[in-house]
A and B are shown apart, each in its own frame.
Chain A
Amino acid sequence: MREAEVRRLLAANLLCALAVVLATLGPAFLLDGFSVLGTHLTWLCVCSVCVATLNIVLHLVLKPNQSPKRRSFGHKISRFLKCCIYFFMSCILFHAIIVLYGAPLIELVTETFLFAVLLSTFTTLQCLCLLGPNIQAWIRVFSKNGAMSIWESSLQITSVCSILGAWFGAFPIPLDWDRPWQVWPISCSLGATFGYMAGLIIAPLWIHWNRKQLTYKSR
């Protein structure tokens, strides 16, 4: 049971990583003059959309958190709307944090916001898929030893890795190398993406190696 679940997690994560790679390489065939550095905004959109769709599809297919009772259609709609609002709010929150970190307030708003959307896709969207619009559960998962399944552990690891990637991505900005990837927000979004992919790969491996120590207590 456990082994099978870990394998399923691995497959799902690899699919997500593949989605990022596809989002980088794919549009080059369809769009003229597409490149990650040159048309960064397009790439941000494509990447966010790809990862988001795949996450939602995977969530619908795999159903990692089986809810025992069937819920009414109205309930599902309200839940969905709530999720949308939460996602939007998380984008706003990320945008605010990025501006507080020193991003320009008025210029480059689109860039900053799309970067915030990308970060939300990597972190909040997964939370919404897995935990639903339930803040209490989020806080539980993101405190130490709060995860209750391997899916939640994986969620922890990928989110933290994406955020850390974005954080480290800011380091090269002050260097005076005048490289195209030092332009705001390319280094940060690339950092976040690399962090996300690293998290996706690390998570199953980490769970596999620590499977003896990991004891998830049920609610």
Chain B
Amino acid sequence: MRLRSGVFASSCLLVQALGVALFLRGFFPVPVRSVPRREARADPPAEPAPPGPGMVSNWTKIPPPLFKKVVIVLIDALRDDFVFGPKGKQFMPYTTQVVEKGTSYSFIAEAKPPTVTMPRIKALMTGSIPGFIDVVVNLNSPALLDDNLIWQAKTAGKRIIFYGDDTWVKLFPKHFVEYDGTTSFFVSDFTEVDDNVTRHLDRVLKREDWDLLILHYLGLDHIGHMTGPNSPLVGPKLREMDNILKKIHISLISKEEASLPNLLVVCGDHGMSETGSHGGSSEGEVHTPLLFISSAFGKRSAPPAQPEHVQQTDLASTLAIGLGLPISRNSVGNLILPVVGGKTMREQLRFVHLNGFQLSRLLQENTPAYEKDPGYEHFKIAEKSHGNWIKLYLEGNNSEILLNLGKKVLKQYLEALKTLSSSLSRQVAQYDMYSMMVGTVIIMEVLILLLLSVPKALSKRAEFEVPLSPPLFSLLFYLMCLMLCAVHVIVCTSAESLCYFCSMSWLTAVGVMMLISALMCGILSAVAKILENYRLPPKNPVASSYSWSEIDVLILAGTIGHVLSLGASSFIEEEHQTWYFLINTLCLVLCQELCRNNFLLKECDPQHSTNVKQNFDSIEESSECKNIDIPAASNSKLGKATSSSEFMKGSDKWISLATPWIILICCRLLRSLNQTGVQWAHRPDFGHWLTSFEHKSELSFLAAVSLLMIFVLVQRRCSLVSKIAMALGLLGVYSYRSAIGNVTFPWQHGGKDISKGITEARFVYVFVLGIVFTGTKDLLKSQVISADSSTKSTGLWEVYSGLVLLAALLFRPHNLPVLVFCLLIQTMMTKYIWIPLKFDAAQITIMHYWFGQAFFYFQGNSNGIATVDISAGFVGLDSYVEIPAIFLTAFATYAGPFLWAVHLLCYLSSEVRRNSAAVGHGCFCYALMRSIPVAIYVVLVTGLRYHLFIWSVFSPKLLYEGVHVFITAAVCLFFTTMDQNHSYKVQD
């Protein structure tokens, strides 16, 4: 089957998009979640009804609290052996004494990765296991919106006081009656952070006006980060903590009255590894101590052998029961039974029933086939025997038998709880490695296939034979299919965890396996072909003679360097710097190229013209000319080496020489428009200055000038109708911005009431659609009636200007200059650099790609989720409508790369006369440029999945990359449809 390189590239990219989707689905497990907490106020379940008529239990409310005051002391990075090990015995004598002899229960709580403070706090307080998707869902809102213990306590009228890490204050705004947040910014600060917490302690412990006190100590974590767990600094810090615990405990005991006991909880959010860092899943990082100290517990006679293991999420349910609150809806934790062990059997059964009921409801909401779940079945059985037990109890049977029977029911309940919570947490806590691997394999295979076909796809004909039938009917293909299917069956039957790829239908899975084997066979046959060609002596010397120009070197080095930089979290955070650096260098190299073309070619004109002749006649190596370096005439030999005597004349020459500098200045201005990234994001920038209220008139002026400039730059290649439509549309953009109060008209001074500007925005949408429609009509005409390229390029330009208008509407007004500079740079580059210097399609495509990437960041985007401008999704819409909102937000976010890609298409299709395969080359290069970083990044992320910054840095970047692949696939499809009609001309 013969394929053109455009078609080939787009189909490759589509397959790759499939792989990326599969990878993303495996990487981001869908969280277990229940209804939002506002609707979560369902009535608590009553005790299970005893069978038989007549008897009804009167326990229908939530049981009363077991403890009066609760103090939670959270010590950051407290590892289990700091309390239970030799270090604990040495440095924490009081705690050790309480653990061994006092009235306490001690456990080892297991944290789930990522072992980083913020998700751990969420886990402790909601009982759920937060995944990255939570972060995406709660876009821009750092506050915890799920049902959680703090919120329940606050709604129940408890007064909460908090001192410590200010992550809590951000997570639970307005929840605390009193708080003092300390920042964990200065890791080298060991004492100040903790003193800031402790200084409140004496005062608060004397007071009576609180119910829940939370203290979060950061010092130990900082010591761990700086010096590791075995440093001499750890000992004194533990001693300090021990003294604090002693003080709190004594004060709690002294205050205790007859009514209700108090409770002191000591826990760590995560541990630390042997090097002192955390975030991964090594034993030291995952195991944290969990102590419950209260006079309600019985005094221990013998020291416990080894603390029991529990889950970190169990704390939320236990505390909820202890405080007499409903258990949070999303909690997957189990009640820690010893804590309520002192209560009567009926109460204990009531507590575990509440817990089991909550878990089974969560399971019902998340799994369709919940009835078959063993945990659910166990729970139902236990509930039934609970009902029987209550019947006996209410009948007044109070003997030993009842107690034993009760113990049996309790055991049944505990069994059910364990199974329920393990099947729930299985859905979140881990990466779905199998789906990730399948996705990675597809992505990598496509990349290799693309790389192997580079020489052919960029050849003059831009088409190649894809040997489809031989591999499809080869034995290898079937063997591979069989093998992969066998692997699939083995993996899916043996996997304990939930796996997305396994849950797909068998037909789809087999299809994917066939795809993988077909790609593999394609790669093998391509390799075989290359080896075959390699063995044959090269027929023409052209293939071997290939000289690299500076541009080629830069493009190659830049691409490789950028891909490698994706392995470092700081380089991802500051990726915009990479792109700015690269396009600056590109401009300087272009400047050098221009200088050479303008000044040096005169000297060697005679030699050069002979060269040109040779180039056309025999296509020979063209570097005999000593004093010039003809930029690599890589594939399209007729491109570069045309005579330079008419290169440029007069003023044009000087404008052309100045172009790179103008572009550099534009880029510098844009860079200071939006500070982005992480390290320097707080720096004052021009964008913030403009958006502040007192600079409204400046912003209005800038917006008006920008819109005018956009019109001037866009209109010159449009038809008359589109020109008028464009002008009206841009006016509409301004009036939309003034309607929603961003800018003002010069004649209106008083405060005008601000509307949502729906009419104005829809007015603009009409023109956008109109212009795009006119363009499409032209394109269709050129496609169907005649292959007239001028109609086609007008049509394309009209589509492009329609998109520019849409971008102008969606961009925030201070970002309009980005659009202006985008158009300006494109115009200048086309006129003075690309056309005169006669670069080939591949180079131009890569330059477009680089500029597109740079403009992505010039717009103010970054690799963090927080910079996505969601307001773009509401332009012209009354309320949130999902599909258009997503489309508009995606367009506004990726406007830079998208507009550059469409401009590339406009440019290349006007170049068709010079190089008929230009569009195909462009499409292929564009697909390749996108698939290299995504493939490498997917592998990197898989390797770094336990990295400390996986959720904060790498995952958002992965999402951005994934969405970019989908958008590029769409762009490439558009390219391919545009490439349709002149494919026949190429062949003859």
Could you tell me the distance between the alpha carbons of A102 and B854 in the complex, rounded to whole angstroms? Answer: 13
Q: Are A167 and B585 in contact (CB under 8 A)?
A: yes
Separation in Å of the A159 CB from the closest CB of chain B?
A: 13
- Chain B residues with Cβ under 8 A from A173's Cβ? 577
Q: Are B668 and A175 in contact (CB under 8 A)?
A: no
B570 touches A (CB below 8 Å): yes
A21 touches B (CB below 8 Å): no
Could you tell me the distance between the alpha carbons of A167 and B581 in the complex, rounded to whole angstroms? Answer: 9
Interface mask (B257-300 → A, CB under 8 Å = 1, otherwise 0): 00000000000000000000000000000000000000000000
Within 8 A of A (CB), among B139-187: none
- Chain B residues with Cβ under 8 A from A180's Cβ? none
Q: Are B668 and A102 in contact (CB under 8 A)?
A: yes
Q: Are B679 and A176 in contact (CB under 8 A)?
A: yes
Interface mask (A158-174 → B, CB under 8 Å = 1, otherwise 0): 00000000010010011
A77 touches B (CB below 8 Å): no
Q: Are A174 and B570 in contact (CB under 8 A)?
A: yes
Separation in Å of the A8 CB from the closest CB of chain B?
A: 26
Within 8 A of A (CB), among B594-648: 595-596, 599-600, 626-629
B667 touches A (CB below 8 Å): yes
Could you tell me the distance between the alpha carbons of A100 and B666 in the complex, rounded to whole angstroms? Answer: 9
Within 8 A of A (CB), among B564-601: 568-571, 573-574, 577-578, 580-581, 584-585, 588, 595-596, 599-600
B527 touches A (CB below 8 Å): no
Separation in Å of the B525 CB from the closest CB of chain A?
A: 40
Within 8 A of A (CB), among B425-481: none
Within 8 A of A (CB), among B666-684: 667-668, 671-672, 677, 679
- When A97-B588, A145-B626 are in contact, do A139 and B595 touch as well, CB less than 8 Å? yes
A146 touches B (CB below 8 Å): yes
Contact of B628 among A102, A143, A167 (CB under 8 A): A143
A71 touches B (CB below 8 Å): no
Separation in Å of the B572 CB from the closest CB of chain A?
A: 10
Could you tell me the distance between the alpha carbons of A97 and B581 in the complex, rounded to whole angstroms? Answer: 12
Main secondary structure of the interface of B (DSSP, over half): helix
Interface mask (A91-110 → B, CB under 8 Å = 1, otherwise 0): 00000010111100100000
Nearest to A97 among chain B residues (CB) is B588
Main secondary structure of the interface of A (DSSP, over half): loop
Q: How large is the interface on A (under 10, 10 to 19, 20 to 34, 35 or more residues)?
A: 20 to 34
Could you tell me the distance between the alpha carbons of A99 and B580 in the complex, rounded to whole angstroms? Answer: 12
B665 touches A (CB below 8 Å): yes
- When A100-B584, A102-B671, A174-B571 are in contact, do A143 and B596 touch as well, CB less than 8 Å? yes
Separation in Å of the B597 CB from the closest CB of chain A?
A: 11
Contact of B668 among A100, A139, A140, A170 (CB under 8 A): A100
Interface mask (A135-168 → B, CB under 8 Å = 1, otherwise 0): 0100110011110000000000000000000010
Within 8 A of B (CB), among A187-212: none
B664 touches A (CB below 8 Å): yes
Q: Are A174 and B626 in contact (CB under 8 A)?
A: no
Could you tell me the distance between the alpha carbons of A175 and B567 in the complex, rounded to whole angstroms? Answer: 12
Could you tell me the distance between the alpha carbons of A99 and B595 in the complex, rounded to whole angstroms? Answer: 22
Nearest to A99 among chain B residues (CB) is B668
Could you tell me the distance between the alpha carbons of A162 and B569 in the complex, rounded to whole angstroms? Answer: 29
Q: Are A100 and B574 in contact (CB under 8 A)?
A: no
Nearest to A139 among chain B residues (CB) is B599
Separation in Å of the A57 CB from the closest CB of chain B?
A: 32
- When A174-B577, A175-B570 are in contact, do A143 and B629 touch as well, CB less than 8 Å? yes
Q: Are A143 and B679 in contact (CB under 8 A)?
A: no
Q: Are B570 and A100 in contact (CB under 8 A)?
A: no
Q: Are B627 and A145 in contact (CB under 8 A)?
A: yes
Contact of B568 among A97, A139, A167, A175 (CB under 8 A): A175
- Chain A residues with Cβ under 8 A from B677's Cβ? 174
Separation in Å of the A138 CB from the closest CB of chain B?
A: 10
Could you tell me the distance between the alpha carbons of A101 and B580 in the complex, rounded to whole angstroms? Answer: 8
Contact of B577 among A102, A145, A177 (CB under 8 A): A102
Contact of B627 among A102, A136, A146, A174 (CB under 8 A): A146
Separation in Å of the A173 CB from the closest CB of chain B?
A: 8
Nearest to A176 among chain B residues (CB) is B570
- Chain A residues with Cβ under 8 A from B600's Cβ? 139-140, 143
- When A143-B629, A175-B570 are in contact, do A102 and B580 touch as well, CB less than 8 Å? yes
- Chain A residues with Cβ under 8 A from B664's Cβ? 100
- Chain B residues with Cβ under 8 A from A101's Cβ? 580-581, 584
Could you tell me the distance between the alpha carbons of A54 and B629 in the complex, rounded to whole angstroms? Answer: 34
Separation in Å of the A97 CB from the closest CB of chain B?
A: 7
Contact of A144 among B570, B571, B629 (CB under 8 A): B629
Could you tell me the distance between the alpha carbons of A174 and B595 in the complex, rounded to whole angstroms? Answer: 32
Contact of A100 among B577, B627, B628, B667 (CB under 8 A): B667
Separation in Å of the A90 CB from the closest CB of chain B?
A: 15
Could you tell me the distance between the alpha carbons of A136 and B595 in the complex, rounded to whole angstroms? Answer: 11
Could you tell me the distance between the alpha carbons of A101 and B679 in the complex, rounded to whole angstroms? Answer: 17
Could you tell me the distance between the alpha carbons of A176 and B571 in the complex, rounded to whole angstroms? Answer: 9
- Chain B residues with Cβ under 8 A from A136's Cβ? 599
Could you tell me the distance between the alpha carbons of A177 and B627 in the complex, rounded to whole angstroms? Answer: 46
- Chain B residues with Cβ under 8 A from A105's Cβ? 672
- Chain A residues with Cβ under 8 A from B626's Cβ? 145
Could you tell me the distance between the alpha carbons of A139 and B594 in the complex, rounded to whole angstroms? Answer: 12
- Chain A residues with Cβ under 8 A from B578's Cβ? 174
- Chain B residues with Cβ under 8 A from A139's Cβ? 595-596, 599-600
- When A143-B596, A174-B570, A175-B568 are in contact, do A100 and B665 touch as well, CB less than 8 Å? yes
- Chain B residues with Cβ under 8 A from A170's Cβ? 581
Nearest to A217 among chain B residues (CB) is B626
- Chain A residues with Cβ under 8 A from B581's Cβ? 101-102, 170
Q: Are A174 and B574 in contact (CB under 8 A)?
A: yes
Within 8 A of B (CB), among A27-82: none
Separation in Å of the B685 CB from the closest CB of chain A?
A: 12
- Chain A residues with Cβ under 8 A from B668's Cβ? 99-100, 102
Contact of B679 among A99, A100, A167, A174 (CB under 8 A): A174
Could you tell me the distance between the alpha carbons of A139 and B592 in the complex, rounded to whole angstroms? Answer: 10
Nearest to B672 among chain A residues (CB) is A105
Separation in Å of the B590 CB from the closest CB of chain A?
A: 14
Nearest to B626 among chain A residues (CB) is A145
Separation in Å of the A124 CB from the closest CB of chain B?
A: 16
Separation in Å of the A95 CB from the closest CB of chain B?
A: 13
Could you tell me the distance between the alpha carbons of A189 and B349 in the complex, rounded to whole angstroms? Answer: 73
- Chain A residues with Cβ under 8 A from B679's Cβ? 174, 176
Separation in Å of the B622 CB from the closest CB of chain A?
A: 13
Could you tell me the distance between the alpha carbons of A140 and B667 in the complex, rounded to whole angstroms? Answer: 30
- Chain A residues with Cβ under 8 A from B629's Cβ? 143-145
Could you tell me the distance between the alpha carbons of A174 and B681 in the complex, rounded to whole angstroms? Answer: 12
- Chain A residues with Cβ under 8 A from B585's Cβ? 167
- Chain B residues with Cβ under 8 A from A175's Cβ? 568, 570-571
Could you tell me the distance between the alpha carbons of A127 and B228 in the complex, rounded to whole angstroms? Answer: 53
Separation in Å of the A14 CB from the closest CB of chain B?
A: 30
- Chain B residues with Cβ under 8 A from A97's Cβ? 588
Separation in Å of the A58 CB from the closest CB of chain B?
A: 28
- Chain A residues with Cβ under 8 A from B599's Cβ? 136, 139
Separation in Å of the A2 CB from the closest CB of chain B?
A: 20
- Chain B residues with Cβ under 8 A from A167's Cβ? 585
- Chain B residues with Cβ under 8 A from A145's Cβ? 626-627, 629
Known: A144-B629, A175-B571. 5 other contacts (CB 8 A): A97-B588, A99-B668, A100-B668, A139-B600, A174-B677
Among all A-B residue pairs, the 9 with the closest Cβ atoms:
A174-B574, A144-B629, A100-B664, A175-B570, A176-B570, A100-B668, A174-B577, A145-B626, A101-B584
Q: List 24 A-B contacts (CB under 8 A).
A: A97-B588, A100-B664, A100-B665, A100-B667, A100-B668, A101-B580, A101-B581, A102-B584, A105-B672, A139-B599, A139-B600, A143-B627, A143-B629, A144-B628, A145-B626, A145-B627, A145-B629, A167-B585, A173-B577, A174-B573, A174-B574, A174-B679, A176-B569, A177-B570
Binding site for B on A (CB under 8 A): 97, 99-102, 105, 136, 139-140, 143-146, 167, 170, 173-177
Binding site for A on B (CB under 8 A): 568-571, 573-574, 577-578, 580-581, 584-585, 588, 595-596, 599-600, 626-629, 664-665, 667-668, 671-672, 677, 679
